[in-house]
Structure 1
Amino acid sequence: MANRLARATSPYLLQHAENPVDWWEWGEDAFEEARRRSIPVLLSVGYSSCHWCHVMAHESFEDAATAAYLNEHFVAVKVDREERPDVDAVYMAATTAMTGQGGWPMTVVLDHDGTPFFAGTYFPDQPRHGQPAFSQVLQALSDAWTNRGEEVRRVADSVRSHLSSAAASLGGGQPSAELVARAVDKVAGDFDPMAGGFGGAPKFPPSMVLELLRRMPDDERARHMLARTVAAMARGGMYDQLGGGFARYSVDRGWVVPHFEKMLYDNAQLLGLYARLGTSLGDRVARETADFLIRELRTGEGGFASALDADTEGEEGRFYVWTPAQLVEVLGEDDGAWAAQVFEVTAGGTFEHGTSTLQLRHDPDAEVAGAERLADVRRRLFAARSERVAPARDDKVVAAWNGLAISGLVAAGLLLDEQEYVDAAAAAGDLLVRVHLDGDRLLRVSRDGVAGRHAGVLEDYGCVATGFLDLLQATGDPAWLRRATGLLDTALELFRAEDGGFYDTAVDAEALVARPRDPSDNASPSGLSSTVHALVVAHAVTGEGRYRDAAETALGTVTGLMEQAPRFAGWSLAAALTMLDGPLEVAVVGPVGAERDALAAAARRLPGAVVLVADGPSGDIPLLEGRVPVDGRPAAYVCRGFVCERPVTTPEDLLASVGG
Structure 2
Amino acid sequence: MTSPYLLQHAQNPVDWWPWCPEAFEEARRRDVPVLISIGYSSCHWCHVMARESFEDLAVAAQLNSDFVAVKVDREERPDVDAVYMTATQAMTGQGGWPMTVFATPDGVPFFCGTYFAKDDFGRLMTSVTSAWRDQRADVVAQGAAVVQAIGGAQLVGGPTAPISAELLDAAAAGLAGEQDDTYGGFGGAPKFPPHMNLLFLLRQHERTGSAESLEIVRHAAEQMARGGIYDQLAGGFARYAVDARWVVPHFEKMLYDNALLLRAYTQVWRLTGDTLARRIADETAAFLVRDLGTPQGGLASALDADTDGVEGLTYAWTPDQLTEALGAADGAWAADLFRVTADGTFEHGRSVLVLARDIDEADPALVERWQDVRRRLLAVRAQRPQPARDDKVVASWNGLAITALAEYGVLTADRAILDAAVALAGVLADRHLVDGRLRRVSRDGVVGDPAGVLEDHGCVAEAFLAVYQVTAEPRWLDLAKQLLDVALDRFPSGKGGFYDTADDAEELLTRPADATDNATPSGTSAICAALVGYAALSGETSYREAADAALATLGPLISGHPRFAGYAAAVAEAALAGPYEIAVATTDPADPLVAAVYRHAPGGSVIVTGEPDRAGVPLLAGRPLREGAATAYVCRGFVCEHPVTTAAELAGRFTRTGKRV
- TM-score computed with the length of structure 1 as normaliser: 0.96
Residue among 368, 373, 378 paired with 1:377: 373
1:158 is matched with which residue: 145, 150, 156?
145
| Residue 144 of structure 1 pairs with residue 131 of structure 2 | yes
* Aligned-partner residue type, residue 144 of structure 2: D
Question: Which residue identity lines up with residue 79 of structure 1 in the other structure?
Answer: V
Correspondence for 1:497: 493
Matches within 5 A, 1:114-129: 114-126=107-119
Long gaps (5+) in structure 2? 657-661
Q: Deviations over 1:231-255 (max 9, x none)?
A: 0011100000100000000000000
Q: How far is the alpha carbon of 1:489 from its aligned partner?
A: 0.6
Task: Work out the CA distance in 1 between the residues paired with 2:515 and 2:9.
Answer: 32
Tell me the distance in 1 between the aligned counterparts of 2:53 and 2:623: 66
In structure 2, the residue matched to 1:267 is 258
Taking the aligned partners of 2:479 and 2:590, their CA distance within structure 1 comes to 31
Query: Would you say 1:284 and 2:279 are equivalent positions?
Result: yes
CA distance in 2, matches of 1:372, 1:614: 40
* Cα distance in structure 2, aligned partners of 1:284 and 1:97: 43
Amino acid of the structure 2 residue aligned with 1:256: V
Query: Which residue does the alignment assign to 1:511?
Result: 507
| Code of the aligned partner of 1:228 | H
Match of 1:183 among 168, 171, 196: 171
Per the alignment, in what secondary structure is the counterpart of residue 655 of structure 2?
A: coil
Counterpart residue number, 1:213: 201
Offset of residue 604 of structure 1: 5.8
Name the CA distance, whole Å, in 1 between partners of 2:8 and 2:114: 19
**Contact between 2:39 and 2:98, CA under 8 Å: does it hold in 1?**
yes
Distance 2:211 2:473 in 1: 38
Q: Note closer, same or farther for the CA distance 1:344–1:615 as it changes in structure 2 (3 Å cut).
A: same
For the 8 Å contact 1:183–1:562, the answer to whether it is kept is yes
> CA 1:613 to 1:315, structure 2 compared with 1: closer, same or farther past 3 Å?
same
1:574 to 553, 560, 570: 570
Q: Whole-Å Cα distance in 2 between the matches of residues 372 and 216 of structure 1? A: 37
Q: Deviation of residue 63 (structure 1)? A: 0.7
2:249 alignment partner in structure 1 = 258
Query: SS state of the match for residue 348, structure 2?
Result: coil
Flag the structure with more relative contact order, 1 or 2, with Cα contacts below 8 A and sequence separation at least 6: 2
Aligned counterpart for 2:586 among listed residues 584, 587, 590: 590
1:420-431 counterparts in 2 under 5 A?
420-431=416-427
Q: CA deviation at 1:366?
A: 2.4
1:597 is displaced (CA, Å) by 4.9
Give 1:35's aligned residue. Answer: 28
SS at match of 2:505: coil
Secondary structure of 1:216 counterpart: helix
Q: Who is 1:367 aligned against?
A: 363
Quote the Cα distance in structure 1 between the aligned partners of 2:492 and 2:98: 31
Map of 1:223-622 to 2, 5 A cutoff?
A: 223-278=214-269, 279-364=274-359, 366-592=362-588, 594-602=590-598, 605-622=601-618
Detail structure 1 runs of 4+ shifted over 4 Å in the superposition: 596-605
Which residue number in structure 2 is paired with residue 129 of structure 1? Answer: none
Deviations 1:121-162 (A, max 9, x none): 000013xxxxxx101000100111111011111111111111
CA–CA separation in structure 1 for the residues paired with 2:352 and 2:601: 34
Range that drifts further, 216-225 or 28-37? 216-225
Q: Is the deviation greater in 360-369 or in 421-430?
A: 360-369
Contact 2:589 2:610 in 1 (8 A): no
The one-letter amino acid paired with 1:628 is P
Matched, 1:77 2:65: no
Provide the rounded CA distance (Å) in 2 between the counterparts of 1:35 and 1:568: 40
Aligned partner of residue 558 in structure 1, secondary structure: helix
Superposition deviation, residue 563 in structure 1: 2.2
Tell me how far 1:112 sits from its aligned partner: 2.1
Cα distance change of structure 1 residues 602 and 34 upon mapping to structure 2, 3 Å threshold:
closer
Counting matched residue pairs gives 647
SS at match of 1:233: helix
Q: C-alpha distance in 2, partners of 1:391/1:225?
A: 33
Q: Identity, % of aligned pairs? A: 55
Q: Does the residue aligned with 2:582 lie in a helix, a strand or coil?
A: strand
CA distance in structure 1 between the aligned counterparts of 2:51 and 2:17, rounded to whole angstroms: 18
Alignment partners' CA distance in 1, 2:346 and 2:385 = 19
Unaligned stretches of 5+ in structure 1?
Answer: 1-7, 127-132
The CA distance in 1 between the partners of 2:640 and 2:193, in whole Å, is 37
Q: Secondary structure at the match of 1:402?
A: helix
Q: Deviations over 1:321-353 (max 9, x none)?
A: 111111111111111111111111111111111
Counterpart in 1 of 2:659?
none
Paired residue type of 1:437: L
Bigger Cα displacement from structure 2, 245-254 vs 620-629:
620-629
TM-score (norm 2): 0.96
Give the C-alpha shift of residue 599 in structure 1.
Answer: 4.7
Higher mean C-alpha displacement, 424-433 vs 256-265? 424-433
Name the residue aligned to 1:4. Answer: none
Deviates more, 1:592-601 or 1:515-524: 592-601
Q: Is the Cα–Cα contact under 8 Å of residues 59 and 122 in structure 2 kept in the other structure?
A: yes
Give the deviation of 1:170 after TM superposition.
4.1
- Larger displacement relative to structure 2 (590-599 or 413-422): 590-599
In structure 1, what is the equivalent of residue 55 of structure 2? 62
Q: Would you say 1:103 and 2:96 are equivalent positions?
A: yes
- AA aligned to 1:146 is R
Amino acid at match of 2:133: T
Q: 1:601 to 1:337 in 2, by over 3 A?
A: farther
SS of 2:347 mapped into structure 1: coil
Q: Alpha-carbon deviation of 1:497?
A: 0.7
* Backbone CA RMSD of aligned residues: 1.2
Q: 1:300 to 1:597 in 2, by over 3 A?
A: farther
Q: CA separation in 2, counterparts of 1:596 and 1:415? A: 12
